[in-house]
Amino acid sequence: MAKNLVIVESPAKAKTIEGFLGKDFVVKSSFGHVRDLSEKGLSVKIDDNFQPIYEISPDKKKVIEELKKNVQKADIVWLASDEDREGEAIAWHLYETLNLSKKDTRRIVFNEITPKAIQKAIESPRQIDMDLVMAQQARRILDRLVGYEVSPLLWKKVKPNLSAGRVQSVAVRLIVERERERAATPVESWFRLSAVFRNSQGKKFRAEVEEKIPDEAQASRLMESLSERIAAFPEKSASQGAGQGFTVETLEVKPARRSPAPPFTTSTLQQEASRRLGFSVTRTMRLAQQLYEEGKITYMRTDSVNLSEDALQAAETFVRSAFGEKYHRRRQFTTRTKGAQEAHEAIRPTDITVRQVEGDPALRRLYQLIWQRTVACQMADAELEKTRVVIGAPGFEKKFIARGEAIRFDGFLKVYEEAREEEDNEDSGDDSTPDQALPLLQTGDPLQLESALARQRFSSLPPRYTEASLVRKLEELGIGRPSTYAPTINTIQQRGYVEKKDSEGVERPYVAIELKEGHLRRQERIEITGAEKGKLFPTDMGILVTDFLMQNFPRIMDYGFTAEVEKEFDIIAEGRLEWTRMLDAFYRPFHDTVLATEKNSQKVKGRRLLGTDPKTGQNVYALIGRFGPVVQIGDGDHNEKPRFAPLKKDWRLESVTLEQALSLFELPKILGTHEGQEVAVGLGRFGPFVRWGGKFISMPRGSDPHTCTLEQAIELIRAKADSEASRVIKEFEGSPLRILRGRFGPYITDGKNNFKIPKTVSDPSALSLNEVQALAAEASERPAKSVRRRSKK
């Protein structure tokens, strides 16, 4: 019989740890939290100092029973849940639920699941840290109070079945405000002038005029001036030192250094995995948890960039061995995050010499990213040489600038380079010439102008958030902690307040004035603007709820206040603030606001008057209907029912125009005829459809019935007919009865009702009409199973 029982949160973690301990230890899993606030009511005794009412989760009762049996067999119980606040709370709930005693219970924590770390933890146990437990409990109770009191208000004042959360609502506010910021930002245009030059050795390079050229008139004048120079000296080569007059006026060469980024925290891992691997924050955390539980990386919920002395020494040995002494530089980074939590390590491999791990491709890629970042942070700076060349000509009013960069020593770049955040360069707002490999140049060198381009550019809109950049923003504001980022972003999408989606963009014309091979020409070209991938868009309901909360609960929606609450949780965890005092200070004014809002606020209609319908003179509104955003014509006066049409998915209540709204009522629209019957398209409760001969054929998800052609509709009709034909086993002339193939086997249908064919019928196609009628009649007489009710005892 094992003398020691070790309890962890997950089976995978238990399996890994059990392999490190001897026969005197048995390792069991609690499968996460075993106890939580009861689902029955508020479950917080507000008048009794906010005492919580806990209950064992229904799906954990068997787990607790099994653990109790194991406790009875053990001399010592080791609670080995994670070392953060959630883990400490799990340990405490296990202690309480299993009725453990202090003298027979040990609390152990470790940052990595390795033999050395586990042994060290066993040798230095401690008691449960009740300050950490109370910090977690305070967060849980506060979030229950906010959700329990605000959500019913949303049901009454906005729409049934809505919910609110303290951190989630603030995250939605960020996304809503960014969308409005985009709508309010005017798009400005200017011209950028660039050119290709050739030196005396025939080597070409690109340069540009750095200042913006405000309009087309000035751009045209500059291009005409360049054209005249080429026309005057068409055959002159740069080596002859005269002609067009362009020369290298100044040349600056400066050394530069680039340093590696710190090792990963939870936030930076989520951001880099999103940029480089395209992972959602939820997927990143799921994979990181798997790597941790398999003993491959250190604990994955951390806001520390610190590395242990053992890790630093291991990295030094590896870098010197793999790349040479000059590539190593010992670095110890300092955490600067607002409200950084317990002193964990950064996320790193447990064994730096392991470059790859087994597993699915996504797991291997995430591990490689963590390995590269960790190794790189202990490597030398990259040494660069940056060159800036100023090019001018007598009589030409602008200067061209060429920039170059050369790597003299790659340093950490040999292993890893941090990905650039694409959203910082949306559309064409930041279009400066990238660094290039410049040919050998000297001051005074003559240059030949090969070609030039003046291109219209446009200012960028503020970028929409990705999951990763929203995490970064929350971290900057001090809102949330490593354990809450992924759940927060997941929750706001599940609640329908935010959508993660791609945008194909729209066409935008722009002007390009090109000088090539001595010819100057103006062109109007087309570019795609606004194309985005994996961005967060607020839904109309998200906007409506945010506005209601901002109007009535400005305090809990305030970024600074939300960050201050997070700091108070940190102070509770440090033992410097009583958790009940913190909750009391929050709840009293909050509850007063709830009561005042319930009494004084009006029901939110979420309705915009767009104008009047020119055909009927009735008002046209955009509003939230029972099944989502709709447009309404008419007020329901004079016993005339209003007409409704669902809003297109990429339209918003705030921005839809009268013209757009009226276009929705063009449906159903007749497209023509097919086989003598009318073909029409429409938009119903379940989406767009094609109507033909009394049949309704659903259009593919995302289809726009307004742009559907007759040919496309006929293609859908034929595809539906082919699909139905493949289901037909037998038809009977002069009878509506048919035998069809179904999801659960062959069945009989009369077009309205379906009748099951008994399994004793081996070949349904051999059935006669009389036999089919008999089976249908017999099935009709049987009582339906669905109406049976179990009597209460």
**Active-site annotation, residues:** 299
DSSP 8-state secondary structure symbol assigned to residue 361:
H
- Helices marked H in 648-763 — which ranges? 658-663, 710-725
Strands (E), 94-158: 105-107
Token pair 């479950």 is found at 43
Dist CA 442 CA 401 (whole Å): 14
Beta carbons of 330 and 378 less than 8 angstroms apart: yes
Dist CA 383 CA 562 (whole Å): 43
Residue 578: other Cβ atoms inside 10 A: 14
Dist CA 6 CA 109 (whole Å): 12
Dist CA 263 CA 376 (whole Å): 8
Beta carbons of 265 and 302 less than 8 angstroms apart: yes
Instruction: Please state the φ and ψ torsions of residue 345, each to the nearest 5 degrees.
Output: -90, 165
Task: Find out whether the peptide bond into 668 is cis, omega within 30 degrees of 0.
Answer: yes
- DSSP letters, 533-578, are EEEEEE-HHHHHHHHHHHHH-TTTT-HHHHHHHHHHHHHHHTTSS-
Dist CA 5 CA 24 (whole Å): 9
Report the Cα–Cα distance between both ends of the chain, in Å, rounded. Answer: 44
Q: What is the spatial order of strands in the sheet that 189-198 belongs to?
A: 247-258, 382-392, 400-409, 204-208, 189-198, 448-458, 506-516, 519-529
Q: Which two tokens stand for residue 58?
A: 């229904």
Q: What is the largest CA-CA distance in the chain?
A: 108
Q: Which two tokens stand for residue 38?
A: 């009861």
Residue 148 burial (C-beta neighbours within 10 Å; 0-12, 13-18, 19+): middle
DSSP 8-state secondary structure symbol assigned to residue 297:
B
Beta carbons of 633 and 616 less than 8 angstroms apart: yes
How much of the chain is in helix, strand and coil states, percent to nearest 5? 40, 25, 35
Which 3 state secondary structure label does DSSP give 353?
coil
